[in-house]
Amino acid sequence: MSNTDYKKMYDKIFKAMGELTPLSADCGKLCGHACCKGDGNTGMRLFPYEETNLSVKELDSGVRLAVCSGECNRAERPLACRIFPFFPTIDDRGRIFVEADTRAQRLCPLITHSDEIIFDKRFFKAVKRVGKILAKDKECREFLIASTEEIDTYADFLGEAK
């Protein structure tokens, strides 16, 4: 796909997410906005060809991070922030699921206290739709596959560390 096609794809994705968040209330009150404590050096991983107005740090591994200092224009936040702490995982048949992103487990009470929380189902529907849109593109599909493997590895690690 061309950069213009990717831009259109992310516009569609952001539209699908809209203003939906995991809860209908502000979950930041549960944790003091633990996921928005950027130090101007670390950041959220960008999806393939995702553009951002935040500054971008490219790691040796090729991973691109949108760097923030704990504040941003909410309407322009990266996709990873919009779907946090969940992720559209993919199986070997290409089916999309929405799972807790275990990479965030030590940070986010929505994962550790999921049994006690009433989530907004519309959010999960939207994340699944996002996964389906991403899976249509080869590079994004590969990103989903690699991320799913990472999430599974973290899940195993956390299970063993219990």
Residues in contact with ligand SF4 by the rule CB under 6 A: 27-28, 30-31, 33-36, 38, 44, 54, 68, 70-72, 77-78, 81, 84-85, 107-110
Q: Kindly report the number of other CB atoms within 10 A of residue 9's CB atom.
A: 20
Least distance in angstroms from the C-beta of 106 to ligand SF4: 10
Q: Cα–Cα distance between 162 and 156 in angstroms, integer?
A: 10
Q: Which is nearer to ligand SF4, 85 or 88 (CB)?
A: 85
Indicate the residue among 35 and 135 with the shorter CB distance to ligand SF4: 35
The CA-based dihedral angle spanning residues 117, 122, 128, 132, taken in that order and rounded to the nearest 10 degrees = -170
Distances (CA, A) of 149 to 35, 42, 91, 108, 114: 22, 22, 10, 20, 22
Return the number of the residue (20 or 44) whose C-beta is nearest ligand SF4: 44
Cβ nearer to ligand SF4, comparing 95 with 106 = 106
Entry field: residues in the chain: 162
Minimum Å distance from CB 124 to ligand SF4?
A: 14
